[in-house]
Amino acid sequence: MKVGGDDPRAAAVGRAIDSGRPWSPVLAEQGIRWIVVQTDQPAASRPPDLTGTTVVWSQGDLELREVADQIRVHRPRDAAVVAVDVVAAALLVGSAGMAWRGRRDQQTPV
């Protein structure tokens, strides 16, 4: 099974899944604390090694597991993500300002 995505952390998790080794240390290193497991699915060719995780909630065919290892905190460092957020915020503020000004101009008697 492969975990896709652009995030390099997804590739690290995919390698752990393929290797058959315990997932817990890899998930903790990637900043992942919670796992949702659907227990009624057909068995995979290699069952997941969930050693180092604890079931904290279970109902029907779902389990919520917590990774017991120390979770590494990841902070985004991608300048493009920050730039897009700044541009989006500027557009939102600009749009709100234009809407407010347009509304004010409509209320001003001529």
Residue 83, helix vs strand vs coil: helix
Q: What is the pLDDT at residue 3?
A: 46
Q: 20 CB contacts (<8 Å, ≥6 apart)?
A: 46, 49
* More confidently predicted of 40 and 56: 56
Q: What is the pLDDT at residue 65?
A: 92
Residue 42, helix vs strand vs coil: coil
The predicted model gives 56-66 an average pLDDT of 90
User: Which tens digits make up the pLDDT trace of 80-100?
Assistant: 666 767 777 777 776 666 666
State how far the Cα of 54 lies from the Cα of 33, in Å rounded to an integer.
Answer: 11
Decide: pTM greater than 0.75.
no
